[in-house]
Structure 1
Amino acid sequence: MRKSYVIATAMAAAMTVWIASGALSGEEAAPPPPPADRADAKPAALPHVRVRSTSAAEYTGSITVRGRTEAVRSVDVKAETAGAVSEILVRRGAEVKAGDVLCRLSLRDRQAALTEAEAELRQREMEYNAAAQLKGAGYGTTNRLAEARAILDAARAKLTRMTQELSDTEIKAPFDGIIEDMPSEIGDVLSPGGDQACATIVDADPMLIVGQVAEREIAGIRIGADARARLITGQEVTGKVRFVATKADPDTRTFRVEIEVANADGALKAGVTTEARVPTTPVAAHHLSPAILSLDGDGTIGLKIVDAEAKVHFLPVGIVGSDDAGVYVTGLPATADVIVVGQDFVLPGQKVEVSRDGGSNS
């Protein structure tokens, strides 16, 4: 028994020395093989995203034009000959037609001058006829006939001038409209080119809605487009775009836009604050939630989609409109699988595991 104890003790001591010698020599146990080298290793799981199929549809947006109403024409009607106002035939607010007499000027000696010019013309005609007869009979000269003809033409021109002078004493409306102001009084002396007018006439049919549009929006407005407008008075009207400026205002970098609105009943007044909406050119757009939009490394706004091979792609998009339910964007294919969950955790070119809204997988 004593010998067996001694042998066992010796074997234990030898084992202890052997283990200690290995630790002291710096040897370590070999690490386990990497997962890729193990026979039973499993592939890493793909990132999971959820997509929604979307299709483009025709979208017509609108551009807001804020401005005011403006009369299509407003003219100060002035005298074409000098004279004192002898009669005023209209009042402010009156409707007039083209050719209606607004003011009359004093005739002074114009009627007498006209009568004198008529008499002079008759005399010159007789002188010319006599010269022509003498020339025909061989008693007159060509020079004498030419001189008589020149004097006759001068008499005719004088009569025309006197007739026009007399006609100009009646100051007439140049177009249909409404008398906005009557700055002249009986006795005021008017003259051609003077500051004072007989009347101010406004053409309010059609009425214009005039506003300024930002340079980033002006390309969406076209001449002839229908427009709807609401005045600050509560009136709602429809019209058509009749003018789009080709040159921006150098101070505001905006473009003048005019919308023509019928105003036969005169219900619309000039100078009223107005807001109009003009539809833009229809485009194919996708209607999506703005929450799924993202930015690339350059700050470009876009969307992440997956292709048929479940690879991620980033497509830049343009926002062309919005409503309470989302935004309308362009730049996507006609149909696309847009990532709606997990787009912030995947990169373009990466392969992903896809599930669709409703639980279907692809």
Structure 2
Amino acid sequence: MADQTAPAVTIVPARTAEVQARVPTSGSLVAWREVQVHPRVAGYEITEILVEAGDSVEQGQVLARLARDTLTAQLEQAEAEYTRAEAGVDQARSTIDSAQALLTQAVSALERAQRLRRGGTASQSALDDAIAAEANARAQAASAEGGLSVAQAALGQAVAARRIARMNLERAEIVAPVAGFVSARNAELGALSGGAPDPLFTIIEDSRVEFEGEVIETALPQLRIGAPATIRVAGLGQITGKVRLIPAAVDPVTRLGVVRIELDQQQGLRAGLFGYGWVTTAVRDAVTVPVAAVLSDGAGDRVQVVADGIIETRPVDAGLIWDGRREIVDGLSEGEEIVARAGAFFRTGDLVRRAEAVATDTGPAAEGEADPR
């Protein structure tokens, strides 16, 4: 029977429970990927604006229109140049046909003059004239071939000019390169396209918004791609997600790294909203005791084990703090009884008795806090 003069203490057993390690973070919601929409043809008046910031758009949807009169005239001019260049190729081919016919005739005349000269019925002067005529016809044929090359080059330029004119006319319609959410509109009616460095529109691709938060440098080694996260967003409450990007560098002044967390998408997510939360880096079952049962000082961590009413102050290896309980990595077994709120005034060998009403586990709950050592 316990000595009734011994001090009464709350005695609880060590028990196995789940503990979690969490890395805190705070920051803002940002676009998963921003796409800037610039005009692809410059110097033309903006005549229509069809979307506003906050609108959802589909890929290829028309966002704005530019004045088309000059662009249409340029295309008509390019079409005319193409037609003329095409006619020039046809003309060059006809010239080649004529030159080839003359060359054939000149070759025949030369062969006839040579036969007659060999037979003694033609003068040397007639042969010389036939040779000159054949050489001239051959030169004209070569020139005609060169003219075709020039005409074909001109046609190639006309084809390119027509294609550019067509593209410029098509670009008079500013379209969305991706589907998403219009986060900003800088386009103004009457302004000239390309007159300012700012994009006409900014689109958040696929309307996806994620969390960008700062993490203290000492916690970065614990982070892993895909680690689950929970973020509380202003006005929206708790949102789950997972780590998408781990910081590759740390700010040398603040000693913080920036982590990107992919959020489960829901209505109301907007870039710029403040958020805070944590990344869960470990979840495991472990022997635990109430937080207040662990005494920590420069000598290390220890608990006060009670056996047959006698205290044993035992060194332990304490770990995570979670949900009001402290993980005991080594030094204590499940089921061993300990003082729920350890007292520095107790020493090994002191007598204690169990309090009649066993209190619930107490102690500050510093969720996810790692062992301060």
Q: TM-score, normalised by structure 2?
A: 0.64
User: In structure 2, what is the equivalent of residue 241 of structure 1?
Assistant: 243
Which residue identity is paired with 2:64?
C
Quote the residue 2:76 is aligned against: 115
Kept in 2, the 8 Å contact 1:305–1:336? The answer is no
Q: Pick closer, same or farther for the CA change 1:344–1:231 going to 2, 3 Å.
A: closer
Residue number in structure 1 paired with 2:32: 72
For residue 68 of structure 1, give the secondary structure of its aligned residue in structure 2. Answer: strand
Q: Structure 1 residues 70 and 329, CA, compared in 2 at 3 Å: closer, same or farther?
A: farther
Bigger drift between 128-137 and 91-100 goes to 128-137
Give secondary structure in 2 for the equivalent of 1:109: helix
Range with bigger deviation, 314-323 or 84-93: 314-323
Aligned-partner residue type, residue 328 of structure 1: E
Match of 2:200 in 1: 198
For structure 1, the 5+ residue unaligned runs are 1-50, 307-311
| Cα pair 1:56 1:334 within 8 Å, conserved | no
Given the alignment of the two structures, is residue 101 of structure 1 paired with residue 62 of structure 2, yes or no?
yes
| Inter-partner Cα distance in structure 2 for 1:143 and 1:322 | 88
User: Over residues 117-148 of structure 1, what are the superposed CA-to-partner deviations in whole Å (9 max), with x where a residue is unaligned?
Assistant: 12222332333345456657843455333323
Provide closer, same or farther for how the CA distance between residues 132 and 317 of structure 1 changes in structure 2, counting only shifts above 3 A. Answer: farther
Provide the C-alpha distance between the structure 1 equivalents of 2:53 and 2:349, rounded to a whole number of angstroms. 79
Deviation of 1:222 (Å):
1.6
**Which SS does the other structure have where 2:32 is aligned?**
strand
Q: For the structure 1 residues 116 and 70, does the alpha-carbon distance in structure 2 shift closer, same or farther, using more than 3 Å as the test?
A: same
> Any residues of structure 2 matched to 1:51-62 within 5 Å, and which?
59-62=19-22
Kindly provide the CA deviation profile for residues 16-73 of structure 1, in whole angstroms up to 9, marking residues without a partner as x: xxxxxxxxxxxxxxxxxxxxxxxxxxxxxxxxxxx99968776332223222222324
Counterpart residue number, 2:112: none
- Is the contact made by 1:70 and 1:207 (CA closer than 8 Å) also made in structure 2? yes
Residue 218 of structure 1: aligned partner: 220
Which residue is equivalent to 1:257? 259
Residues 132 and 54 (structure 1 numbering): CA distance in 2 closer, same or farther, change over 3 Å? Answer: farther
Give the aligned residue type for 2:31: A
Within 2, Cα distance between the matches of 1:315 and 1:123?
A: 98
Q: Distance in 1 between matches of 2:335 and 2:238?
A: 42
Per-residue CA deviations over 1:236-276 (Å, capped at 9, x if unaligned) read 32222211112112221112112222335x32222222222
Larger Rg over CA atoms: 1
The number of residues matched between the two structures is 292
Q: Deviations over 1:204-254 (max 9, x none)?
A: 732212211112222222211222222231433222221111211222111
The 8 Å contact of residues 241 and 263 in structure 2, kept in 1 or not, is answered as yes
5+ residue gaps, structure 2:
1-10, 101-140, 306-311, 355-373
- 2:137 is matched with which residue? none
* Matching of residue 319 in structure 1 with residue 280 in structure 2: no
Q: Which structure carries more relative contact order (alpha carbon 8 Å, separation 6+)?
A: 2
Question: For residue 106 of structure 1, what is the amino acid of its counterpart?
Answer: A
Find out whether 1:166 has 2:169 as its counterpart: yes
Q: Distance in 2 between matches of 1:205 and 1:94?
A: 10
130-139 vs 284-293, which moves further: 130-139
Give RMSD over aligned pairs: 3.9
Q: What is residue 28 of structure 1 aligned with on the other side?
A: none
Q: Is the 8 A contact 2:13 2:338 kept in 1?
A: no
Instruction: Choose from 139, 144, 147 the match for 2:147.
Output: 144
In structure 2, how many angstroms separate the alpha carbons of the residues matched to 1:163 and 1:333?
80
Letter in 2 for 1:111: T
Write the mapping of 1:13-52 to structure 2, written as runs, cut at 5 A. Answer: none
**What is the letter of the counterpart of residue 20 of structure 2?**
T
TM-score (norm: length of structure 1): 0.66
Distance 1:329 1:353 in 2: 22
3-state SS of paired residue (2:269)? coil
Question: One-letter code of the match for 1:321?
Answer: I
Give the letter for the 1:233 counterpart: G
Measured in 2, the distance between the counterparts of 1:133 and 1:305 equals: 111
